[in-house]
Amino acid sequence: MRDLVIIGGGAAGQAAAMYALGKDLDFLLICDQLGGRVERPAPVEKDYLLGSILVHYDGPDPEDEERALIGSSAVHLFEDLLRSHQEFMLNDRVKAVRRESDAFLVETERSGPIATASVIVATGVTPRRDLRLNGSAGLLADLGHSATQHAGALVGKRVVVVGDTLQALYSAAEFAATALQVYLVLPTEAAADRAEVRLLQQRPNIAVLPGYQVIDVAAEGGMRVLVVRRGDEVSRLVADVAFADLGYEPASAVVRDLGVVGPGGFVQVDRDGATRIPGLFAAGDVTRPEGEQVLTAIGDGARAARCAHFYLLTRTMRGSGQGVGVAWGAGQDT
């Protein structure tokens, strides 16, 4: 039986694996692809298409490279190291996690069941795509892919942000610092009553459109044209680039039958990543609806692995006949 199974190869899962590797645990990281949604930074000059705007990346100078490689590059360093420890890697998909006495069985698609004393779920999320646009939804960029890092490329541009999630609202505020005009399309009228939206309405270059639905998106002359409707009122928004953030669909189905999934499908955990079931932990995007950053996901994964390690130590002490009067976890030092 393994000490720990980590499900998911993104930032949180890899950080958990690095912690487990440092503690010499008998662990297994199961994923179909290392890296998750983290993009590899370009080591040389490269052009990126952000909507209809071409962004040129020169690549960092040698003396600046270390400062330029922050969250994403940390994950890629983890990835390189983990690839040299193939004994801890399994390229597979997890179908379900079942509780077996005081341990777990992780059911995989191709490798059968894997017994383990503890589990960390770091399966992430996928952006929701609820817009029915007959295939043209691809003209909207996802805010969930670090679009806000490109705010500098939007100087003097017109931008549309569709969505009323916190990430959509904060992104509108960030874009407004450099853009000529920001259109914030809110799918529900009730969202206009939120304190964040009222603050955004005070910005002279932000136009808030509550209760509007996007019914069409087209590319015309290098611009994005969005047709929006509220009741019988139809308007056209012309912008250089358009983003959408309609929330996320957490990949929590593997533990849904264990009673740890809360509203919206997110796995419910405490501040250390522990669920209500001893030995079951979760980390990263699958635990919260807010847009996640790579660095915070790394912290989540390491924290969950630390708590799992304490749990394993508790099991070992109990198994050896030593009485344990406290539950190890939050507040303990390594």
- How close are the terminal C-alpha atoms of the chain, in Å? 24
Distance, in Å, from the CA atom of 17 to the CA atom of 70, rounded to the nearest integer, reads 19
Candidates 197, 170, 177, 178; CA nearest to 186 is 197
Name the amino acid, one letter, at 9. Answer: G
pLDDT for 130 beyond 90: no
Distance, in Å, from the CA atom of 16 to the CA atom of 303, rounded to the nearest integer, reads 8
What is the set of domains in the chain, with CATH numbers? 2-126+248-319 (3.50.50.60), 129-244 (3.50.50.60)
For the segment 201-244, what is each residue's pLDDT rounded down to a tens digit? 999 999 999 999 988 888 888 888 999 999 999 999 999 988 88
CB 291 within 8 A of CB 166: yes
User: How would you classify the pairing of strands 241-244 and 158-162?
Assistant: parallel
Query: Per residue, what are the HEC states of 62-88?
Result: CCCHHHHCCHHHHHHHHHHHHHCCHHH
Burial of 163 (0-12, 13-18, 19+ CB in 10 A): buried
**58 secondary structure, DSSP code:** -
pTM (two decimals): 0.74
Distance, in Å, from the CA atom of 127 to the CA atom of 221, rounded to the nearest integer, reads 28
Amino acid 79: pLDDT: 78
Q: How far is CA 102 from the centre of its chain?
A: 30
CB 114 within 8 A of CB 128: no
For the segment 48-107, what is each residue's pLDDT rounded down to a tens digit? 444 445 544 444 444 444 444 455 667 767 877 888 888 999 999 999 999 998 899 999
Q: Which segments of 81-146 are extended strands (E)?
A: 89-91, 94-100, 103-108, 113-121, 125-127, 141-142
| Token pair belonging to 166 | 């916190």
